[in-house]
Structure 1
Amino acid sequence: MQFTFYKYQGTGNDFVMIDNRSLTFPKNDTKLIERLCDRRFGIGADGLILLENDESTDFKMVYYNSDGNESSMCGNGGRCLVAFAKKLNVISDSATFIAVDGLHHATIDENDIVSLQMKDVDKVEQHESHIFLDTGSPHHVQLVEDLHIFDVRNEGSKIRYGSLYGQAGSNVNFVTQTDENKFSLRTYERGVEDETLSCGTGATAVAIAMKAIGKTNSSVIQLKVEGGELEVSFNQKNGFFTQVFLKGPANFVYEGQIAIQ
């Protein structure tokens, strides 16, 4: 079988995209998806995303981590999928789609800047050394010094596999404040099991966490990730965060064909 695939990236977070509206892709083949995401023996990506039909929205998002397992919400992946849907002429400049964590709305401009509405956040756990919250995926947020030389892979792995989050684990974000409403972060991603150049749900989690603990008074937060810059905005009232939007570039890289045996 031969499939057409599309490669997209959002601030360095890269994805294999497949139009699966015909439901012909073998989506339960974990080993195949892992191989396609492999950077040496496959196409290479942080994850694979299927665009499928949905009865009540523009399309459905089905997301797999690079380990081949279907996973929780991916913010940058969602933004890239909106750009992919536009390329396929499924949408024009706005979209409503369903993902594993529920309904999402998004807009895309002529420069492929995608603004994606994320889930509301009604619980931010503040601990002595870190903050934990769920922005569609679980995120540990921890302030550190010397972020540029911090050992994200080893320290992130310790937390992800440690006793704090049990067998399911968590994504882990290390953060440094650079201005009143600007933060730099690096993320260890669960399922990729390594640092990625960007994580959309992680950037969203960091923005909300920093607001919750009083590190910023702004409701529009600029995030510097290893692969570029993102913006997160939200409304906050009585500890609830609503109208949460993740905004940034979503770029087409290339298109190709791959044989699947």
Structure 2
Amino acid sequence: MRIPFIKMHGLGNDFIMLDAREAELPTLSEQSAAALANRRSGVGCDQLILLERSSSADFRMRIFNSDGGEVEACGNAARAVALLHGEPAKVETGGGIIELSPTQGGARVDMGFPRFEWDSIPLDYAMDTGAMPVSWEMLNNPSAVNVGNPHVIFFVRDCEEIPLDRLGPEIENDPLFPERINVNVADVRDGAINLRVWERGAGLTKACGTGACATAVAAIRKGLVTSPVRVRLPGGELNIEWADGESIIMEGPATEAFRGSFEWADYA
């Protein structure tokens, strides 16, 4: 069975897009998702996105990280989906309903409301999520925010100095985070945020839309920046708007790279 795909990216965070809204595909397993995501023997991606029919929204977006694990949300993929869909839509995700609208070269996405309660992150036990009394070497007192998926955010002097390739997996898999965690290190300069992200199940990526949202919300809550704020990632910039009691608005680019097909049996 030959399956068409579309390769897209948002600021270098890249995706395999599979569209099953019109015709159903065979069941996608974690093993198949990981095999397709492999950059040597598969198509290669940070996340695989499966679009399906939905009874509660215009359609459903399922997200599989490069290790094959399914996760709740992906902001960069949401912009890519908006570009692919071509018109405003309400989209069902594992983290809730999001609203997206294509713009010139990208999209504007309503990511929904952030959550701050310790059991909504979730954490293993109760604590203040605004300044958590925990540390890993030079990283300490982070904030935690759930924006459809869980994030922990460390504000540091210079995010480039942090060995995130080493500390990221240690923090991601700490027992404090029963569903694992996305790890963000950020610094604030000239009213903008510089950000690097270790993504749960994917590792270091050039950009993370939900990480930009979570970090912007945490920085606004701490009074470090004002909304709207530019978030600078290795792959480029996103604009994030948020005020207390309101939903998060993310705006930025997305790009279609190429289209192709693969034989389903090769990855089953």
Describe the superposition over 1:98-140 as per-residue Cα deviations: whole angstroms up to 9, x where unpaired: 111221111112x222010012124271125110110111000
Pair 1:174-2:185 in alignment: yes
Taking only the aligned residue pairs, the percentage that are identical comes to 30
In structure 2, how many angstroms separate the alpha carbons of the residues matched to 1:120 and 1:185? 21
Q: Relative to 1, partners in 2 of residues 1:22 and 1:145: Cα closer, same or farther, differing over 3 Å? A: same
Residue equivalent to 1:164: 176
Q: Is the 8 A contact 1:101 1:119 kept in 2?
A: no
Q: Which residues of 2 match residues 234-249 of structure 1 at below 5 A?
A: 234-236=242-244, 240=245, 242-249=246-253
Normalising to structure 1: TM-score of the pair? Answer: 0.89
AA partner of residue 235 (structure 1): A
Q: Gapped runs of 5+ residues in structure 1?
A: 87-91
Residues 79, 115 of structure 1: 8 Å contact kept: yes
Equivalent runs, 1:66-215 vs 2, <5 Å: 66-86=66-86, 92=87, 94-109=88-103, 111-123=104-116, 125-127=129-131, 128=133, 129-166=141-178, 168-180=179-191, 182-192=192-202, 194-215=203-224
| Alpha-carbon distance in structure 1 between the residues aligned to 2:255 and 2:89 | 17
Give secondary structure in 2 for the equivalent of 1:43: coil
Aligned to 2:262: 258
The verdict on how the C-alpha distance between 1:140 and 1:56 changes in structure 2, with shifts beyond 3 A counting, is closer
SS at match of 1:126: coil
Residue in 2 aligned with 1:8? 8
**Following superposition of structure 1 onto structure 2, how do residues 21-60 of structure 1 map, counting pairs within 5 Å?**
21-22=21-22, 24-60=24-60
Q: Is the 8 A contact 1:10 1:77 kept in 2?
A: yes
**Corresponding residue pairs, total:** 246
SS, match of residue 82 in structure 2? helix
Superposed displacement of residue 260, structure 1 = 1.6
CA distance in 1, matches of 2:40, 2:224: 41
Asked if the contact 1:13/1:196 (under 8 Å) is kept, the reply is: yes
* Partner Cα separation in structure 2 for residue 23 and residue 159 of structure 1: 40
